[in-house]
Chains A and B, each alone.
Chain A
Amino acid sequence: MSVIAATMRAALAEAWSNRSAFWTQVTAIVLNDIVWIVFWVLFFRRVGPMRGWDGDSVLVLLAVLATSAGISFGILANGRRIGWFAADGDLDAALSLPVSTLAYLLVRRVETVHLGDILFGVVLFAFVGDPTPARIAVYLFGVAVGVAVLTGFLVLTGSMAFFTGRTTIGDMGFNAMMILSSYPVDIFVGASKVLLYSVVPAAFIAAVPARLIEDPTAADALGGVVAALVFCVGGWVAFSLGLRRYTSGAAWTRA
């Protein structure tokens, strides 16, 4: 565990080493995220409340999404690269280490730009989330669920590259997850909505946590925990099985 913690510290130090680049990237992503606030404000100003969502609740959704995605893409940045590593044979360096390969890969690299998402999410929640101790606790719980589901899903779909030799499924999974989790889940109906709670679990990244903050229910909380467990275990199993089929590309540096 200390090796993994040290690896994460080194990755964070690496990201922090170039201060001007760090702040440039963080500022760029924060401005990028602010545009989403503009979009939702304009949207609800014209549309009004819709299927149980209004401007305030969607901004809470945005805060949870930014924090979860920021942690998953920023601190566990290699989660979305598993497929590329598998397809390109880039895992040799990680395989030689006496630690869990998956755990090491996940913390090995920090994507600076997404640290801005974390900052944005926390600040946005502070402003729009009405942060009482109870709501902060639910927010942190929701973010943990979101990170677990998102990272587990990305590892699971990325690991398909071990079997197919292509990154297509991982790329599609990433794109679908990012788009579908950015909107209130209740705009979807029927089979699409079922899909978002199961095969592509985008509902658990932000919509369910946001609903929990506004109106906590045991069913939503339990659903979040189950989804987190299922996708974390699923990701780990897929990666472990895939690793048995891994073929080296004689590349030593990218992981």
Chain B
Amino acid sequence: MTLRLILTSMATAARRNTSDRSSVLVNIVFFVVVASVMSALWRAAAEANGGEIVGYSVVAVTWYALAAEAATVSLNMRMIELVCDDIASGAVATELLRPASVLGVRISMAIGAALPRLAVCCAAAAVLGPIVGGAPPRALGVVLAIPALVLAIACNLVAQHAVAAAAFWARDVRAVWFLYQKIVFVLGGMVLPLQVLPDGLERTAMLLPFMTMAYVPSRLAAGFIEPELLLLQVAWLGVLLVTAHLVFTAGERRLQVVGG
């Protein structure tokens, strides 16, 4: 899998996704609605607690919510279902004929599709944030949050492929996306800062890869300058890539043995 192939796959998917203006509009509206709701909820929570909740001020928790939603709204949370469908239907067998890694092309295209949506969400957040909450608490936090958002969607998409590869063995694991999504909701810090969790659960969540998918960029956007979180994301991305590669390779071998 060459760098050129990765970039070409990403660019193709990005072009395909931006050509449909109505879906871009839906994406913006969806982000604005969900980000407004979550930021309103947490602002109300902070205000009910004297202007601060688990160390986050009203402004910080607003930017936490905006970044968390950008990290998840930008990508297809039902990717697991789509990959499962392609594996279960045998459609993935035709991709094996290509002289390139099935997993590599799929992940590159998924990231390519997500990046324009991420850019749109970030632009919408830049407008929405100051209106509903105020300026970002720390400019450096926002600067760090941008690569963290890219790494977050990469970690999320790779993990979804690793989970979806179970379809090589089990007949129907599509419903797993429901559970995966909800794990990211809570243990990933998408709907609440991990500090809200009870101590034991918070420590557990910090040890799992889901925290790289929403919590890390959100924590940085909220003004907590913790650049080591970026290194943690890179490390988890490596682990997830290796896992997905191993599972997909084993699955492809099984598909060929059975006959696809």
Contact = CB atoms under 8 A, between A and B. Distances in A.
Interface of A: 21, 24-25, 28-29, 31-32, 35, 38-39, 42-43, 45-51, 113, 166-168, 171-172, 175-176, 179-180, 182-183, 187-188, 192
A172 B29 CA distance: 7
B192 A32 contact: no
Contacts of A175: 26, 29-30, 33-34
Interface residues of B, number: 30
A183 B22 contact: no
A172 B30 contact: yes
Given A39-B186, A43-B45, A172-B30, A192 B40 contact: yes
B169 interface: no
A31 B186 CA distance: 13
A192 B48 contact: no
Contacts of A31: 178-179, 182
A66 to B, nearest CB: 14
A24 B170 CA distance: 13
A47 B48 contact: yes
A18 to B, nearest CB: 11
Grouping DSSP codes into helix (H, G, I), strand (E, B) and loop, the A interface class, with mixed when no group exceeds half, is helix
Nearest to A173: B29
19 contacts: A28-B178, A29-B178, A31-B179, A31-B182, A32-B182, A35-B186, A39-B192, A42-B186, A42-B192, A43-B45, A46-B54, A51-B44, A168-B22, A175-B33, A175-B34, A176-B29, A183-B41, A187-B44, A192-B36
A191 B175 CA distance: 38
Contact of B45 (A25, A47, A180): A47
Nearest to B28: A172
B53 A46 contact: yes
B37 A28 contact: no
Nearest to B49: A47
B248 interface: no
Contacts of B172: 21, 24
Smallest CB-CB A-B distances: 4 pairs: A28-B175, A35-B182, A168-B22, A47-B45
B25 A43 contact: no
Contact of A48 (B48, B178, B179): B48
Nearest to B178: A32
A45 to B, nearest CB: 8
Contacts of B34: 175, 179
Interface centre among A31, A32, A167 (most CB of B within 10 A): A32
Contacts of A166: 22
Interface centre among A21, A29, A47, A168 (most CB of B within 10 A): A47
